[in-house]
Structure 1
Amino acid sequence: MATKEMEVVKGLDLQKYMGRWYEIASVPSRFQPKDGVNTRVTYTLRDDGTVHVFNETFSGGKKGGIEGTAYKADPSSDEAKLKVKFYVPPFLPIIPVVGDYWVLYIDDDYQYALIGQPSRNYLWILCRQTQMDEGIDIQSAS
């Protein structure tokens, strides 16, 4: 049975998307500590159009982080399909790990976002605040 490709946001305003986001919920990934709490990510737009990514989380009472770079998968497309590159392990930047980062939903005020990728193995709900209002309806692509 073929799975329909997920729909992504078109015309994402990268300037508005920049800044700090808090992870509200996620499908656990092997790249994040299982006991991670207060996870957040900060995006900074660079002069060359790429995005500096800084992920932070607290695990075992200690703060850890990893830096990476995000860029449009297809610069000629208006779809919010990005690639994110991290170096693993972060203290030995030799082996790049590249993954898909698709913005599946973002509200008009850029306060809530749903992030996934085509394999459907990873999913994140991000918010500008540390908590989301209960009445917020994050819509996913079908």
Structure 2
Amino acid sequence: MNLKKLALAALAIGTTAYIVNHNKKNVKYKPAQNFDLGGFLGRWYEIARLENKVQKNQTNVTHRFSLNEEKGTLEIIVRGFDAKKKGWDKTEGIGKQEIENVGKLSTTFLPIFAKQLYIIDFDKDYNNALVASEDYKFLWILSRKKEISEKVKARFLDSAKKVGFDTNKLIWPSQVTIGK
């Protein structure tokens, strides 16, 4: 094996080890039980989020979850309008439900961006959901509508606080329709 291949292999192993260890944190919350993935599929509007590099400056964000039955995977598309670039950004990923009837999803958006996502609270009719990453870097309040009631907002903020999220850091991106 030549030196270049050895260096690339070492880099790949090192990167994988970093990602695995970096993403492990003592999770203080559990995924929702009695969770029906079929009820969760479809389009969601992003009501609030912890700011992150991928979605920086985005408004009008939607998350779409669909099942690719042929591949047995969950297809994920996150789309938002970047106000600074004045254009639409789209991030695509794949995932799978870890355990049937449990709100835990393994997702991959880039070869180095793998996250365990937990649905930690949701409405029985799947109109609103609180989704978080196990490393506490991502948190989203999602809804089937562009707005949520104050009652749902208070419940989700309370749920997030109870498990250790700083809800003061949430941003509330606009869902006002952007002209063509």
Would you call these one fold, judging by a TM-score over 0.5? yes
Q: Does 1:68 align with 2:93?
A: yes
In the aligned structure 2, how far is the partner of 1:4 from the partner of 1:25? Answer: 21
User: In the alignment, is the contact (CA less than 8 A) between 2:130 and 2:139 conserved in 1?
Assistant: yes
Aligned partner of 2:39 among 16, 28, 36: 16
User: In the alignment, is the contact (CA less than 8 A) between 2:27 and 2:135 conserved in 1?
Assistant: no
In the aligned structure 2, how far is the partner of 1:125 from the partner of 1:96? Answer: 24
In the aligned structure 2, how far is the partner of 1:119 from the partner of 1:96? Answer: 15
Percent identical pairs in the alignment equals 24
Aligned partner of 1:135 among 151, 154, 178: 151
Q: Does 1:49 align with 2:49?
A: no
Aligned partner of 1:40 among 62, 76, 92: 62
Runs of 4+ in 1 over 3 A off after TM superposition: none
Q: Which has the larger radius of gyration?
A: 2
CA apart distance, 1:115: 0.5
| Amino acid across the alignment from 1:109 | D
SS in 1 for 2:151: coil
Higher strand share: 1
* Alignment TM-score, normalising by the size of structure 2: 0.66
| Amino acid across the alignment from 1:39 | V
| Amino acid across the alignment from 1:125 | I
Aligned partner of 1:85 among 102, 108, 116: 108
CA apart distance, 1:106: 0.7
Pair 113,26 (structure 1): closer, same or farther in 2 beyond 3 Å? same
In the other structure, the counterpart of 1:125 is 141
| Amino acid across the alignment from 2:88 | K
Higher helix share: 2
In the aligned structure 1, how far is the partner of 2:135 from the partner of 2:75? Answer: 24
In the other structure, the counterpart of 2:53 is 30
Q: Which runs of 5+ in 1 are unaligned?
A: 88-94
| Amino acid across the alignment from 1:37 | T
Q: Which runs of 5+ in 2 are unaligned?
A: 1-24, 164-180
CA apart distance, 1:49: 3.3
CA apart distance, 1:17: 0.5
Deviations 1:91-116 (A, max 9, x none): xxxx3421111100111110010011
* Alignment TM-score, normalising by the size of structure 1: 0.82
Matched length: 131
SS in 1 for 2:115: strand
